[in-house]
Structure formats: structure tokens, C-alpha cells
């Protein structure tokens, strides 16, 4: 039976450290500042933004939220980002995705100052991560959190271990693969076009699922003793709870996989809580860099 990697507890550890280091920065008259921008009324985005802003205030940050109407023009949004780039009180800028269809997401992300890009999506930060320049990169929050969970089980040096990442998105799959490479794992990126995906998954000492398909990875895909990191968050019908009710599941069939895995992240309560915790850590790092100080390690 697998050990369950508790994302809630680890996220609280990260946030606790952020609070301590924020208090340390205050002695230098620096307060980490996070600006979150949301365009439109998407319900899921509203929930995410509210939780990010709440966490930032809890950490002692200067927290700013810009809620813009859905008809906001691309030009107006770029102007706001440029204003935030120029604001010395802001160390992190996060534009909540997805954006309305009339706005070019790539243009907005690339308008953010790379030194304030705490989501890690700017091409400069993508390039830093891809070339192994982790000390200067901002790493996307979800893979950064997943990596921290993995380190708790396997340590920082993954030499000799085989890692399979299922999913090739720019937000999770590709940066996760780069982080695993930087930790000396032997990495394969798999996806919907991969031949005999179950057989490949069974070779993995570390299996990362980031495909967005509920319970796609079955228990017999998991090598005995493997560490399974489930990044998926999928809402599926739950008629057992009542008519119209739903529940959250990952990309991994948890009940099956935990029988083979050595350690596994649950959904919910796994990678999810780590994402916002790492956003706080990235914002703190930006504030330290701006102050000319060495950022703390997480």
C-alpha cells in the first residue's frame, strides 16, 4: 500500500516559511507585492483568484486585485500590465487564464516583466528553465510544487531513476520534464500519440500524470514501488451523492494505483494546494531579488 503524499500539509509548510521570510524582509523595509488580474466572470477563475489574493494577504504581502469586465480591450490590458511592471511595490504579476477570446494570451504573457513573471510563462523564464538556469528562472507553480512533493519522497538527486511524464503542455508537462532532467532523472515525455502508453508507464520509477483525462492511468500501468504524481483535477458526475452532484478525481485511478505505487499524491489534497503555495514562494523570491538579497530555498 502506497504512502500518501499530503499536499495540504506540505503547502502549509511552504506558506509558513514564506511568512517567516516576509517578516525578515520587513526589516529591510520591503513588502512582497502580488498583483492578480482577472478579465471577465468565469466562475472557476473567480474562485482561484480569490484564493490567491487571500493567501497573499495571509502571508503579509501587499496584495492587489484588478477585476476587469469581459469587454476589456487587449490594448487596455497591456497598458495595465505595463503600469504594474513599472510599479516598484509590485514584485509578482499574475494574469488569470483563460482570457476572453478577443485577447491574445501570448501577447499579454509576454508583456509581463520576466522578473515579475511569477507564473513562469514568459519565454525568457521558459528558456532559463529549459537551459537549466534554475537560479534565475521562475518555474511554473504547479510543476514546482509537484517537484517539491517528489523531493520529499525521493530526495533532490534523482540519478539512476526513470521518469515518465504523461502530458506535454507548456504549463505542466514540459516544465516538469525540465525539472526532472535538472535533478538527473532519465526522462521520457509521453502523450496521446505515444505507442503502447501503458507499457511505457510501467517502466517509470517516477510517473507524472498531467493529461486532463479523469482516471486515465490505471493501476496496472504503475510499476511496483513507483512514485506517482497526479497533476490532474477533473470534475465528474457523482450520482451516489445525489442528483446533479459531482466529485473531483485525478488523471490516475487512485484506488487501483495505490496498490502498486510506493508513494502517490491524492486528488484533491495533493498537487492542488501546492500550486498557490509556490505562487507565494515565487513572489517572495522576486521581492528578495529586487532587494538584492539571496532568496530562500524551498
Same-domain pairing of 206 and 87: no
Residue 122 resides in a domain: no
The number of folded domains in the chain is 2
Residue by residue, what is the 3-state secondary structure of the chain? CCEECCHHHHHHHHHHHHHHHHHHHHCCCCCCEEEEEEECCCHHHHHHHHHHHHHHHHCCCEEEEEEECCCCCHHHHHHHHHHHHHCCCCCEEEECCCCCCCCCHHHHHHHCCHHHCCCCCCHHHHHHHHCCCCCCCCCCHHHHHHHHHHHHHHCCCCCCCEEEEECCCCCCHHHHHHHHHHCCCEEEEECCCCCCHHHHHCCCCEEEECCCCCCCECHHHCCCCCEEEECCCEEEECHHHCCCCEEEECCECHHHHCCCCCEECCCCCCHHHHHHHHHHHHHHHHHHHHCCCCCCCC
Question: What pLDDT was estimated at residue 129?
Answer: 98
Same-domain pairing of 145 and 225: yes
Residue 102 resides in a domain: yes
| Domain containing residue 53: CATH number | 3.40.50.10860
Question: What pLDDT was estimated at residue 243?
Answer: 86
Of the candidates 116, 132, 149, which is a domain's last residue?
A: 116
Same-domain pairing of 91 and 167: no
Question: What pLDDT was estimated at residue 138?
Answer: 98
pLDDT band at 262 (very low <50, low <70, confident <90, very high): very high
Same-domain pairing of 108 and 223: no
Same-domain pairing of 266 and 146: yes
More confident residue, 240 or 258: 258
**86-142 pLDDT, tens digit each:** 999 999 999 999 999 999 999 999 999 999 999 999 999 999 999 999 999 999 999
Same-domain pairing of 148 and 227: yes
**18-74 pLDDT, tens digit each:** 999 999 999 999 999 999 999 998 888 888 899 999 999 999 999 999 999 999 999
Same-domain pairing of 151 and 229: yes
Same-domain pairing of 160 and 247: yes
Range of the domain at 46: 28-116
pLDDT, averaged across the chain? 96
Query: Which residues are catalytic, by number?
Result: 52, 96, 119
Question: What pLDDT was estimated at residue 42?
Answer: 85
| Domain containing residue 189: CATH number | 3.40.50.720
Question: What pLDDT was estimated at residue 150?
Answer: 97
Amino acid at each position: 500500500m502506497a504512502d500518501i503524499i499530503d499536499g495540504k500539509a506540505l503547502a502549509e509548510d511552504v506558506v509558513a516559511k514564506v511568512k517567516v521570510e516576509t517578516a525578515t524582509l520587513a526589516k529591510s523595509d520591503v513588502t512582497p507585492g502580488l498583483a492578480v488580474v482577472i478579465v471577465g466572470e468565469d466562475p472557476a477563475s473567480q474562485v482561484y483568484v480569490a484564493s490567491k489574493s487571500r493567501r497573499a494577504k495571509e502571508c503579509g504581502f501587499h496584495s492587489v486585485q484588478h477585476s476587469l469586465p469581459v469587454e476589456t480591450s487587449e490594448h487596455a490590458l497591456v497598458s495595465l500590465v505595463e503600469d504594474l511592471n513599472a510599479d516598484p511595490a509590485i514584485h509578482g504579476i499574475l494574469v488569470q487564464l483563460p482570457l476572453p477570446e478577443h485577447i491574445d494570451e501570448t501577447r499579454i504573457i509576454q508583456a509581463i516583466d520576466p522578473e515579475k513573471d511569477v507564473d513562469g510563462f514568459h519565454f525568457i523564464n521558459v528558456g532559463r528553465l529549459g537551459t537549466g538556469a534554475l537560479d534565475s528562472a521562475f518555474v511554473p507553480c504547479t510543476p514546482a510544487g509537484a517537484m517539491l512533493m517528489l523531493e520529499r519522497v525521493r530526495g533532490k538527486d534523482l540519478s539512476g531513476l526513470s521518469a515518465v511524464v504523461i502530458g506535454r503542455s507548456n504549463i505542466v508537462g514540459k516544465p516538469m520534464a525540465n525539472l526532472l532532467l535538472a535533478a538527473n532523472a532519465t526522462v521520457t515525455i509521453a502523450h496521446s500519440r505515444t505507442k503502447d502508453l501503458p507499457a511505457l508507464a510501467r517502466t517509470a520509477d517516477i510517473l507524472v500524470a498531467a493529461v486532463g483525462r479523469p482516471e486515465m492511468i490505471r493501476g496496472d500501468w504503475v510499476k511496483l514501488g513507483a512514485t506517482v504524481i497526479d497533476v490532474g483535477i477533473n470534475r465528474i458526475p457523482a450520482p451516489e451523492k445525489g442528483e446533479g452532484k459531482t466529485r473531483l478525481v485525478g488523471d490516475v485511478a487512485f484506488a487501483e494505483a495505490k496498490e502498486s505505487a510506493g508513494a502517490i499524491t491524492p486528488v484533491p489534497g495533493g498537487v492542488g494546494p501546492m500550486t498557490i503555495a509556490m505562487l507565494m514562494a515565487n513572489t517572495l523570491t522576486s521581492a528578495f531579488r529586487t532587494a538584492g538579497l539571496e532568496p530562500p530555498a524551498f
